[in-house]
Structure 1
Amino acid sequence: STATSMSMADVEVSLLLAVLLVVGVVFVFLRDWRATLIPSVAVPLSLLGTFAAMLALGFSLNNLSLMALTISTGFVVDDAIVVTENVARYLEGGKAPLQAALLGAQQIAFTVISITVSLLAVFIPLLLMGGIVGRLFSEFAITLSVSIAVSAVISLSVTPMMCALLLRPRHGAQQGALAGLFERLFASLQAAYATGLRWSLRHRRLMQGLTGGTVVLTVVLFALVPKGMFPQQDTGMLMGMSEGPQDISFTQLQARQIQVNQVLKDDPDIAHVVSSIASGNGGQSGNTGQSFIELRPLDQRGAHADAIIARLRPKLARIPGIVVYLQAVQDLRMGGRAARTQYQYTLQDVSLSSLRLWAPRVLQAFAALPQLKDVATDQQTAGLQATMRIDRDAAARFGVTPQRIDDALYDAFGQRFVSTIFTERGQYRVVLESKPRGEQGPEALGAQYVRAPGGQPVRLAGLTATSIEATPLAVNHQGQFPSVTLSFNLADGVALGDAVAAIEAAKRGIGLPASVRAGFAGVAQAFNASASSQPWLVLAALLTVYIVLGILYESFVHPVTILSTLPSAGVGALAALWICGAEVGVIALIGIILLIGIVKKNAIMMIDFALERQREGHMDAEEAIYAACLLRFRPIMMTTLAAFFGGLPLALGSGVGAELRRPLGIAIVGGLLVSQMLTLFTTPVIYLLAEGLRRRHADHPSPHVSAG
């Protein structure tokens, strides 16, 4: 569709912009086109390798896979940046290019492997997610995992080779004025960081308390930020369901639907309208209609889809005898019945009479909730049924059989096809029916005539008695049981999580009998399932990363040091979502899980160098971590800013379908900002705490019984 094509084009622009921003960050820090080229090459090579893997796995380029590729641009240069920066450091120290490349790559190889493996470990819980959400995002996780794995291989093979060929020692005289200015600014920033780091190491209790405070604040913010499933999108398409009185005729419904279509077409932001009535498809019955509304392109209209719906509601409400429900068509829709509004709640019972009793009560309770609007039901029990009883004695006197009466009624009202007229220009079907004015009421049935065997016409009113009774238009079933689906939209500014909580409270107040099974359907059902599993998913990601880091470092305490960076990232992500008015949904949750893999690389780079210096015996723990922080400050800033600018186009996107991608970018950008400011100071303190615990454990080994 046009909306899908425009959405794909927008995310492709975001991908290109992310690549340019990441390359720009590398150039600003390295200030040399040769050095910039080396990590920049990792981006196209990683994307090329990812495309090859996607082709082999049968994946397609869609919104989710392109979103993964956009985010990956900030990841795939990380390893190459770390290797290039380390080689450049040896080169500036007087080593030959080839020797600098070998030494730099050898020293940093374990760090690169640790970062990559622990980052890939984050995606294991995503790949094991069940249900619709798991199937939906498995392609996202696999695409991102492949790009990260390919980038690690490139950084340990292609990057050192290019460093040996392209890097040359720089001298102060060779630097331009702008490069010199940036170098002085960075030196001032590093000096300020060194001062702050020394202060942090002198006030360890305070920094430990700050780390604990971020854990508490993360829990508080998670409780405060609204919960949802998927962001409400503007895809350029609206869907409308219209409903007339249950005893309405086809011609009356048609006339009112035409009025609805005219109101829709008069809106300046609507391009096309297609509608149908009483088709029996998409949840329609004889008194309902359906409209598909295409909006003008986003750059040619002045309002969002939700604003267009809001201004159409009062206009459509003025049309007598018909109610119209509008909703924006979403790219991601999960299960559920075709309903009048976006979210569904289903009631089931073995007894149809019990459903007829309780469904209106639940509907009334839901309609009173301020969190909901456009509450509707598919229960249609007020239809009219005309029953004609034949006076067989009177019919026998005239020689009229029941079959003749049935044929007469079918000729009048059944639109019987009787012939075809052929002309030079085409053919036309001949349909037999009574004049439209004869369809106004049930009295039209008795006004028809039937021809007796003798040829004389006999009025049906003299042969039959007609009675009018109430009857359901349709009885819906789900899982072979009679069911009623209540549907609703969310009130302005209300999150799905708040609406679900209000509905559950209202249900408890109604006191439904045990025979009536009630529950959410579609997106609301998927939200309930995912909301209960979200904490476990994050916990599984943390546990997986801890196990992987424990194996890599052969330690129980150093993985805790690395994972101590995560609470600050959680605070930043949740605070950014709250400030931007976004919800914690599936997309934002994936961003938070990605942060687990992103922010810990700072700690890994610090700890690897500190452990190396301690193993060499040159420094104690405090000196080693202090030196590591200053030495790794430049690559930490580079990799963090690369990931930041990789997520920034998603956070600031405003094109078609950008609402779906924005929470991912907001979570990553907010988490990186806060974690970068805090972990540069808290991680060294937590490292010293862990080292102290490790030494005390080593000084007091567990008792054992010696033989002999």
Structure 2
Amino acid sequence: PEFNEGALTVSVVTVPGTSLEESDAIGRRVEQILLADAGVENTDRRQGRAELDEHAQGVNAAEIDVTLKEGVDKERLFEDLRQEFSAIPGTSVTIGQPIGHRIDHMLSGTRANIAVKIFGPDLYELRQVGARVRDAMQTVPGVADLQLEQQMDVPQLQIRADRGAMARYGMTVGQLADAIDVAFNGEVVSQVLEEGRSYDLVVRFPPEFRANAEAISGGMFDTPTGQKVQLSQLATITVARGPNTISRENVQRKIVVQANVAGRDLGSTVADIQRVVAERVTLPAGYHVVYGGQFESQSDATRVLGALSLLSIAAIFLILYAEFRSTRTAALVMANLPLALIGGVAAVLLTGGVVSIASLVGFVTLFGIATRNGILLVAHYRQLLAEGAPFREAVVRGSLERLSPILMTALTAGLALIPLAVGGGEPGNELQTPMAIVILGGLLSATALNMLVLPALYWLFGEWRVLPRDQRSGAHAAIVATVV
């Protein structure tokens, strides 16, 4: 389930190559829209990230941390903000939350719930396929903050080494590349202490030699022969256009279409996206689509919980058989599991019909609760039968004598779960509330039906005669000895 963190992380991305001044103006406009909402307390913006940052970004990208006031209606806030942000031209705005934002980035490398990754060899073909995938996803209900990765051609200065000319001066391509890097990017050669602070001393060409293509072409470089020559004598310098970024994953080029989900559950939204993309987008040869994000980890967790549920049912059956030494009796106790599932499923349907990981954990917990109720009844039936009570009296009397203990334990557990079940809107209860709702619903149905269904089943299929425990142990030992 989605977290309720009491804060937002708003990602603002405009066209690559946008100046710092224009990007800052767009960021201020987004902040003004945020602060104009009554549910927002304050904002804090970061414009771009340093080149050596782990997640480097250009000045065309900004991240805004938003603190919300208590009791704000998030669904209403998100809807209003998205409507306001849609009026900002050439800008993609993604709304998330701090923890969820980092989880999304860890799972898929994007800042959204869903990441549709298109892989292929040609960047320009990738952009066209990505645009078609984005257009197809726009038709899916529940898709919000839809964004195609910002890739476009930007002006570039391309320096291509002239190997023949370089050979005349005894220079290699590697030496020229290192010289160009030092001349225009700079190299730290020492540190300077000033007023108690340490500053790097960087050596590089002065600004007038880095101002334009003509100045760069005229830059003088040392060669191994001792001569100083202009860069234009060692390489061909041209002004062209090229991609602003090239994204790769597992050595393959990719482009990403990302989106969040609003007003729907994640699983059904992803299923509709996969269906629509398969129907409307024809992929060229050598291109393929991979779906990533939260739903991927949710699917993995669902499979693990499903396997653990089967293992828990098998373990419960083995424990019951070891206790009662009867397959029939163990099966009668296990009949309580469907009774608990009825209430759990009904509770999920009444609260929105979304089965999350927390709900699945609640269903697994119900297995133990339902089995406990069955053990209380069946064990008492068998005790009365072992004491010599008639079968009908054992079932009726055993049910009446175990009614109070079963109701008391169910009532205690139910009262403890009610605060968790009704506190879903509070931060920190996102996982506890769906689990409590499932357990509470299953507890009600299992307790009510257990007192009606299990006595009837035992009357029809139960063992009419039960040996005392010491005689059962002796008989079991004799059987084992005979088999051996």
| Structure-2-length-normalised TM-score | 0.76
CA distance in 2 between partners of 1:601 and 1:570 (Å) = 15
Superposed, 1:18-167 pairs within 5 Å as none
Summarize deviations over 1:623-676 as a string: whole Å, max 9, x none. 211111100111111111121122222212243221221101111111111222
Aligned to 1:604: 375
Tell me, yes or no, if the aligned pair for 1:582 and 1:663 is still in contact at 8 Å: no
SS in 2 for 1:658: coil
Q: Which amino acid aligns with 2:461?
A: A
In the TM superposition, residue 521 of structure 1 has moved relative to its aligned partner by 2.1
Summarize deviations over 1:37-64 as a string: whole Å, max 9, x none. xxxxxxxxxxxxxxxxxxxxxxxxxxxx
The structure in which a higher percent of residues are helix is 1
Is 1:483 the counterpart of 2:254 in the alignment? yes
* 536 and 465 in structure 1: CA distance in 2 versus 1, 3 angstrom threshold: closer
* 424 and 293 in structure 1: CA distance in 2 versus 1, 3 angstrom threshold: closer
Aligned to 1:238: 8
Superposed, 1:78-477 pairs within 5 Å as 231-267=1-37, 269-279=40-50, 281=53, 284-286=56-58, 288-296=60-68, 300-330=69-99, 333=103, 335-349=106-120, 355-378=126-149, 380-387=151-158, 445=213, 467-469=239-241, 471-477=242-248
Specify which of 403, 419, 427 is matched with residue 649 of structure 1: 419
CA distance in 2 between partners of 1:648 and 1:493 (Å) = 25
SS in 1 for 2:72: coil
CA distance in 2 between partners of 1:483 and 1:423 (Å) = 46
CA distance in 2 between partners of 1:266 and 1:657 (Å) = 27
CA distance in 1 between partners of 2:182 and 2:300 (Å) = 51
CA distance in 2 between partners of 1:424 and 1:329 (Å) = 38
Summarize deviations over 1:286-314 as a string: whole Å, max 9, x none. 36424251424xxx434144443333223
Tell me, yes or no, if the aligned pair for 1:650 and 1:661 is still in contact at 8 Å: yes
Aligned to 2:400: 630
CA distance in 1 between partners of 2:343 and 2:284 (Å) = 46
SS in 2 for 1:493: coil
In the TM superposition, residue 425 of structure 1 has moved relative to its aligned partner by 8.8
SS in 2 for 1:540: helix
Tell me, yes or no, if the aligned pair for 2:395 and 2:455 is still in contact at 8 Å: yes
Summarize deviations over 1:60-113 as a string: whole Å, max 9, x none. xxxxxxxxxxxxxxxxxxxxxxxxxxxxxxxxxxxxxxxxxxxxxxxxxxxxxx
In the TM superposition, residue 617 of structure 1 has moved relative to its aligned partner by 2.0
Summarize deviations over 1:449-507 as a string: whole Å, max 9, x none. 96999xxxx9x9xxx985432x22222222232233322111x3211121121122123
Is 1:594 the counterpart of 2:365 in the alignment? yes
In the TM superposition, residue 596 of structure 1 has moved relative to its aligned partner by 0.6
Q: Which amino acid aligns with 2:240?
A: I
In the TM superposition, residue 602 of structure 1 has moved relative to its aligned partner by 1.6
Specify which of 548, 571, 575 is matched with residue 319 of structure 2: 548
**Count of paired positions:** 433
Q: Which amino acid aligns with 1:308?
A: L
SS in 1 for 2:103: coil
CA distance in 2 between partners of 1:427 and 1:531 (Å) = 54
Superposed, 1:648-667 pairs within 5 Å as 648-653=418-423, 654-667=425-438
In the TM superposition, residue 377 of structure 1 has moved relative to its aligned partner by 3.0
Superposed, 1:534-545 pairs within 5 Å as 535-545=306-316
Unaligned runs of 5+ in 2: 163-174, 222-229, 467-484
Tell me, yes or no, if the aligned pair for 2:49 and 2:55 is still in contact at 8 Å: no
Aligned to 1:71: none
Unaligned runs of 5+ in 1: 1-230, 392-402, 696-708
CA distance in 2 between partners of 1:450 and 1:517 (Å) = 46
CA distance in 2 between partners of 1:407 and 1:318 (Å) = 47
* 515 and 527 in structure 1: CA distance in 2 versus 1, 3 angstrom threshold: farther
In the TM superposition, residue 576 of structure 1 has moved relative to its aligned partner by 1.3
In the TM superposition, residue 326 of structure 1 has moved relative to its aligned partner by 1.2
Is 1:580 the counterpart of 2:351 in the alignment? yes
Summarize deviations over 1:594-613 as a string: whole Å, max 9, x none. 01101221211111111111
Q: Which amino acid aligns with 1:329?
A: P
Provide the aligned C-alpha RMSD in A. Answer: 4.1
In the TM superposition, residue 544 of structure 1 has moved relative to its aligned partner by 2.2
Summarize deviations over 1:334-378 as a string: whole Å, max 9, x none. 742331422223233466566445333222222332231222233
* 422 and 261 in structure 1: CA distance in 2 versus 1, 3 angstrom threshold: farther
SS in 2 for 1:593: helix
Q: Which amino acid aligns with 2:67?
A: L
CA distance in 2 between partners of 1:291 and 1:356 (Å) = 25
Aligned to 1:495: 265
Tell me, yes or no, if the aligned pair for 1:246 and 1:384 is still in contact at 8 Å: no
In the TM superposition, residue 417 of structure 1 has moved relative to its aligned partner by 9.2
Report percent identity of matched pairs.
24
In the TM superposition, residue 232 of structure 1 has moved relative to its aligned partner by 1.0
In the TM superposition, residue 546 of structure 1 has moved relative to its aligned partner by 1.5
* 511 and 555 in structure 1: CA distance in 2 versus 1, 3 angstrom threshold: farther
Q: Which amino acid aligns with 1:680?
A: M
| Structure-1-length-normalised TM-score | 0.53
